[in-house]
Structure 1
Amino acid sequence: MDSSHGPSFVQMLAESIDSLRLLGRRSVLALLGIAIGSAAIVALLNIGHSAAEEMMRMFKGMGTDILVVNFPAKPGDRPLPATLDTSAVRRNVPALTYVAPISLNGMTVRHAGRTANTTVVGTTSGLRSIIGLRLASGRFLSDFDHKSTFAVIGAQIAHDLEANGQPIKVGDRLQMGNYVFEVIGIAQSLQANSLIPIDVNQSIIIPIEGLRRVHPLPAISGIVAKALPLANLAATADILHRYLAGLFVGREVNVQIPQQLLDGLKRQSDTFSYLLAGLGGISLLVGGVGVMNVMLMNVAERRREIGLRMALGARPRDIRMLFLLEAANLALAGALLGAVFGLAAAYAFTRFSGWTFSLAPLALPLGIGSSLIIALFFGLYPAMAAAQLQPVQALRDA
C-alpha cells in the first residue's frame, strides 16, 4: 500500500479524542493521574525555588559587603593576640571602611540582685557600622573608651536583668567578675545574622582592651570588616587574607565573604529542589501506570474494531498511531491541567507562608515535558500490542 494512503493525522487525532470521550470515567481517572503527577512536580519545584529565593533575599539583606575572618584552631598553634590594630589593617587593605576584632567570652553578669549568663564581646567602635546596630538609648563604644569600664548591652540581656519590674537604664552598673561596668548604651533588638559570629541581643559589648579585667588570657576570636560599596569582595578577601597570614604567622586564616555562603545555599536549594522533583516524579509514575491500564483495557475492548480496520486496509502503524495519539491526548490534557493546579498550589502556599512567589524557570518545562514522556512511554506498549494483532485472530476473539 502506498504511504500516501490511509487516514490523515487530523483524522486520527479526531478519532482518538472521540475514543477517549467514549471511555468516560476511565479517561478522566487516567487524566487525573497524570494531572496529579504534573501538579506535584510544578508545585514542589516552585515551592522549593520560592523558599530558596526567600532565603537568599534574607541573607542579602543582612549585608553583602561584610567579610568575616576566623582562625581555626589546631594543636600546637600559636596563641592569638588580645587586640588588633584596625588602623593598620585599613591602611593595608584600602577597600575596607570598617574593621572590628571580636573576642567572645561566656560570663555571669549581676545587676541589682539579678544574674544572667551571657556572652561578653570585646570589640571596637567599628562593630556598630559593620552590623548596622541601632541603640534604644545611650551611645555605642567610641575610639576613646578603650581604657574605660563601659558596656553596651543587648536587648534580651536588658530584659533578663530587669529588677522588680524596673528596666535597666543608661548609667546602671553591672558586675562582671571583680569589676563593675557602667551601662552607656542599650541596643535595639537586631535580627540574627548568620554571617556575624555573635548574637548581639544575647551579648554585652565592652572595649576589647577591657577584657583583661574579666579574663586572664583574652584573645581575639575573629574579625569582621565592611568593604566599600563597589569593592571587589573576592579580591579584597584575598588581600586581607595575605595581610593577616603575615601578621599571625603560625595560625590558619579563613576569610569568608557572603557570596561564598550564598553559593553554598544555592547548591543546597538546588539539591532540595531536585529531591522535591523526584517526589513529584513518583506521583507521575503512578499516573503513567494508570494510563497504561486504561489503554490496555481500551485495546482489549476494541479488538473487533481493530480487526475490522486492518481487514479494510489499515496498516499496523495506523493502529499504533491511533492509540499513541489517545495516550498523548491524555498526557497533554493532564499535564496542562496539572501545571495550572500546581502553579495555583505553589502560589497559595508561598502567600500563606509570607514569602514572595517566584516562578522556577524549569518547573513548567519539567512538569509538562515529563508528563508527556511518561504517558507516551506507558502508552507505547498498548499501542504496539494493538498494532501486532492479526485481523483474523482479532475478529475471532472479539
Structure 2
Amino acid sequence: MGRRAWLGLLGVAVGCAAVVALLNVGHSAALQSRQLFQGMGSELLVATLQRDSETPAMTAQPPQLSAVSPLLISAAPLAMAPVEVRLGAISEALMVTGSTPALATVLDLTADQGRLLSEHDAHNAYLLLGAIAAQQLQASVGDQLQLGRYLFEVIGILGPIGYNPLLPVAVDDGLLIPLQAMRRLSSAPQISAVVALARDSQSVRVAADELAGDLRMQLPGAEVEVQVPQQLLDGMASQARLFSWLLAGLGAIALLVGGVGVMNVMLMSVIERRREIGVRMALGARPVDIAWLFLLEAVILASGGAVLGSMVGVLAAWLFAWLSGWDFALDPWSIPLGVCSALLIGVFFGLQPALAAARLQPVAALRDE
C-alpha cells in the first residue's frame, strides 16, 4: 500500500494546494486592485457632463466653480480634443486638455521642468507636456509645438502622476493648455468633465451631491454624473469576494479528484488486507473497530496531504504575486478552509472503504488467499 498511499496523499496535497493558492491569489489580486483605486485619492470627485441633441453646445466658458461648495478645496473644468502635435520631424496624435490653474491643486501636479500654468496665462498660447508625451516628442521647455494651425510654447514638463482610471484623461500622455486657448483648436470647445477635490474623505459623498446639484443649476439641460472613488472601492470589494469564491470552487474540484484517489487507495487496501481483517475479527475486533481503523488511515492520508498542500499553496501564491509584481497578502481564511476541506474529503471518501471492511465476514476473510 505504500506507493499507492503516497499517490493518494499527493492527490489530496495537490487539491489542497490549489484551494489555498487560488484563494491567496484572489486575495492578493483584490488587494492590488484596492491599492490602485485608493491611489486615486479618496477625496477626488469627477463629474461627467453630457448633453442631448436639443441642448445648446456648452462653450469653454467655465461654470463658477469657485462658489460651488465649501466642502471642496478646489475644482477645475476639463475640455478635451485630439490634436496632431508636431515638433520638427516628429508628429504625434495626442489628447489636449484645456483647464484652469486649479487643476494643479486637484491632481497635485508638479513641474519637473519649467513651471505650471497660472491665471495670467489664460489667453496665452502656452502648454504643459505630460511626462510620457515629452519623451515621445523629445521636447523641452521653450520649444514651439504646432497644434493644428497654431504654435504653442512649452513652459513646463509635468512630473509623472501615473494612470488614474477615474480621470477622463491620461495626464502623462497628453498636453495641458489654458481653457480659453481651446478656442484656437475648436470653434465651440465643450466642457465634458469637472474634477474636484473634497476637504476630507468623510464629506466626499455630501460634496458630490452638492457639486452635482450646483452644476445642474449652472448648466441647465446637461446630464451630470459624479463619480466617487469609494463607490469603485465598494464595487471592487464585492467583485473580489465573488472572484475568490470562484477560484475556491476551482480548487475544490481538484480536491475532489484527490479524494477519489484516497478512496481508491483505501479500497485496494481493504482487498489486500482481507486476511488481516479476518484475524482481527477472530481475535475479538468488532466491525466498528475495523471501520474506525480504515477511516483513521484515510484521515491520516488526508491530514498529511492537507499540511503538505497548504505549504505548497502558500508558496505558489507568493511566487505568483512576486512574478506579477504584486504585494503578497495571506488570506487568513485560506489555510483553515484548505485544511478543513481536505480533512472532510478524507473522511467522506474514506467512509465507504471503511464500511466495506467492517462488513467482511471473519470466516470468508480468513479463507481469502
Task: Using structure 2 for the length normalisation, give the TM-score.
Answer: 0.92
Q: CA deviation at 1:310?
A: 3.2
| Contact 2:113–2:156 (Cα < 8 Å) also in 1 | yes
- Counterpart CA distance in 1 for 2:155 and 2:163 is 23
Tell me, yes or no, if structure 1 residue 161 matches structure 2 residue 137: yes
Name the SS for the 1:26 alignment partner.
helix
Does 368-377 or 47-56 show the bigger shift?
Answer: 47-56
User: What CA deviation, in whole Å up to 9, does each residue of 1:311-366 have, x standing for no partner?
Assistant: 44433322222211111111111101211222222223333443322111221111
In structure 2, the CA distance between the partners of 1:74 and 1:371, relative to structure 1 (3 Å rule), is farther
- Work out which of the residue numbers 130, 145, 163 in structure 1 matches 2:121: 145
| Contact 1:118–1:204 (Cα < 8 Å) also in 2 | yes
2:166 alignment counterpart? 195
| Contact 2:46–2:166 (Cα < 8 Å) also in 1 | yes
2:32 alignment counterpart? 54
- Counterpart CA distance in 2 for 1:230 and 1:63 is 9
Residue pairs, 1:152-231, within 5 angstroms: 152-162=128-138, 168-231=139-202
| Contact 2:42–2:201 (Cα < 8 Å) also in 1 | no
Name the SS for the 1:225 alignment partner.
strand
2:307 alignment counterpart? 336
- Work out which of the residue numbers 318, 328, 333 in structure 2 matches 1:347: 318
Aligned amino acid, residue 176 of structure 1: L
Task: Using structure 1 for the length normalisation, give the TM-score.
Answer: 0.86
Residue pairs, 1:272-287, within 5 angstroms: 272-287=243-258
Q: CA deviation at 1:289?
A: 1.0
| Contact 1:38–1:334 (Cα < 8 Å) also in 2 | yes
User: What CA deviation, in whole Å up to 9, does each residue of 1:50-98 have, x standing for no partner?
Assistant: 222123223322322111111355555553342323xx43433211111
Tell me, yes or no, if structure 1 residue 373 matches structure 2 residue 341: no
Aligned amino acid, residue 307 of structure 2: L
Q: CA deviation at 1:284?
A: 1.2
Name the SS for the 1:71 alignment partner.
strand
Q: Give the % identical residues.
A: 48
In structure 2, the CA distance between the partners of 1:68 and 1:352, relative to structure 1 (3 Å rule), is same
- Counterpart CA distance in 2 for 1:370 and 1:77 is 61
| Contact 1:44–1:346 (Cα < 8 Å) also in 2 | yes
1:245 alignment counterpart? 216
1:390 alignment counterpart? 361
- Counterpart CA distance in 2 for 1:136 and 1:278 is 49
1:40 alignment counterpart? 18
CA RMSD of aligned residues (A): 2.1
Name the SS for the 2:222 alignment partner.
coil
Tell me, yes or no, if structure 1 residue 114 matches structure 2 residue 90: yes
How many residue pairs get matched?
369
| Contact 1:95–1:231 (Cα < 8 Å) also in 2 | no
1:10 alignment counterpart? none
1:270 alignment counterpart? 241
Aligned amino acid, residue 336 of structure 1: V
Structure 2: runs of 5 or more not aligned:
none
